[in-house]
Amino acid sequence: MATIVVIGGGWAGCAAALTAGLAGEDVFLIERTDMLLGTGLAGGVMRNNGRWTVTEEAIAMGGGEIFKIIDKTSIHRNIDFPGQAHSSIYDVTKIELRIREALEKAGVKLLLKKRIDDVIIVNGIIKAVVTDHDEEIDGDVFVETTGSAGPLSNCKRYGNGCAMCVLRCPSFGGRVSVSEKAGIKERKLAGSGRKYGRISGGCSLLKDSISKELVQQLNHYGKVEVSIPKKLRLADVDVKSKTCPQYSDSAFKEKLIFLDNGHAKLMMPFFPLEKLRQISGFENAIYADPLTGGIGNSIRYLSIAPTDIFLKVKGIDNLFCAGEKIGPIAGHTEAITTGVIAGNNAVRFSKRKGLFSPPRDTAMGDFINYVNHSLKKSEKLTEIYTFSGAGYFERMKKNGLYQVDKDQIIKKIIKLGLKGIFG
């Protein structure tokens, strides 16, 4: 039995650890905070647009355990909002415990409140990672899913400073890049209106701080759309500064669009509190996460490692990456999918079996290949990739990869000989 060490407990890390754990390996999942899922604790939107296709592909290919848990935890399904169809929304107040239970059931050992400070390398192979308590954690294969946001110095340098977002760097220490510690040269996404990176996703309001009428609508329909009076609209909002490019739709400038994820999730990078409280129903509004949601939160895409289509880091023989570490990708589905691939390949590597990357006939495989090729040919990184919008979703539709018929997706996976391949 090999020891696989996953560093970073966000969606990508949980997917990688669960995949390896279910394969029977000895798995450690290291997370620097006291909770799993990272930005997944402030998100909740799933299955929107092309993410529906990829979710069903992953399930058919045997890598869908996390998606099944998310589906069970969804409080709203088939929600449409501007530019986004058939969305599901999970409850951010309940999902973390469900994922933790699944990991423990699979035998994954959770090492929480442990931050990696150093890496021990011998002849281009990582032998161990060292925590901030000088503990050496040995492993045969390592998977890094530490994300690309933070630490505080980067949020101050490229953004508005620390907003005490879900990453909680002041309490648990900032993100540390394992690949960078291993001597790998990383890349940053070129900024839009700033030197590097993008402002992290939306922000949430406490439900108790908005009107009862709005809460009733939100609980019943899963969404609320409120027109912004012209005098309060943010004429200078740079939607390109936001992580999710699909929200460049003009509707997001003219309306406040809220989704029910346990809180009232605002689908904008930020909105000034003093303006928000001038809109009917929001007179007592309070941001839940981040507390400074009026000016924006963490800056992402500052730590991208060079990987191949198997998500193995170039230059280190036994290190894989997933999530935002592999490139400027946006979304929980994207993180989970790459986590499954990285976790599966970590197991294959430990057993000396050939590595696997889904073929381009699948949306999952096309995405990995397309992102990898785009990063290799571009000296300057400027594009964000997601199944739910912008350029890549258009590519999915153009190439016939966007499918919402579950039976057709299963038939395709069977025809390609991929049924249960991640299992």
Residue ranges covered by each domain of the chain:
3-73+91-195+299-415, 198-289
| Lowest mean per-residue pLDDT among 190-194, 279-283, 374-378 | 190-194
Two tokens at 106?
A: 């699979």
Tokens representing residue 178 in the block:
């394992």
CA–CA separation, 47 and 53 (whole Å): 8
What number of other Cβ atoms are within 10 A of residue 24's Cβ?
12
Q: Looking at the predicted structure, is the pLDDT value of residue 267 above 60?
A: yes
How buried is 101 (Cβ within 10 angstroms: 0-12 exposed, 13-18 middle, 19+ buried)? exposed
Rounded Cα–Cα distance for residues 111 and 316 (Å): 24
Amino acid at site 111? L
pLDDT value of position 155:
86
Nearest to 296, CA basis, from 167, 400, 155: 155
- The second-level CATH assignment, the architecture, of 3-73+91-195+299-415 is 3-Layer(bba) Sandwich (3.50)
Residue 239's pLDDT is what?
54
Query: What residue type is 124 in one-letter code?
Result: G
Helices (H), 90-177: 95-105, 152-158, 169-172
CA dist 370 to 299, 309, 329, 342, Å? 24, 9, 12, 17
Q: Is 186 exposed, middle or buried (0-12, 13-18, 19+ CB in 10 A)?
A: middle
User: In what side-by-side order are the strands of the sheet with 141-144?
Assistant: 109-112, 26-31, 3-7, 141-144, 319-321
Pair type for strands 45-46 and 203-205? unpaired
pLDDT digits (tens, 9 = 90+) for 183-221: 999 999 987 666 888 887 668 899 999 999 999 999 999
SS3 194: coil
Rounded-to-integer distance, Cα 333 and Cα 392, Å: 14
The SS3 call for residue 55 is: helix
% of the chain residues with pLDDT over 90: 78
- Asked if 258 and 264 count as a contact pair (C-beta separation under 8 A), the reply is yes
d(CA 52, CA 70): 13
User: Shortest CA distance to 318 belongs to which of 128, 176, 117, 107?
Assistant: 128
Separation between Cα atoms, residue 7 and residue 30, nearest integer Å: 5
Range in 171-180, 294-303, 335-344 with the lowest mean pLDDT: 294-303
Q: Is the pLDDT of residue 173 over 70?
A: yes
Residue 247 has pLDDT above 70, yes or no: no
Interatomic CA distance for residues 364 and 244, integer angstroms: 19
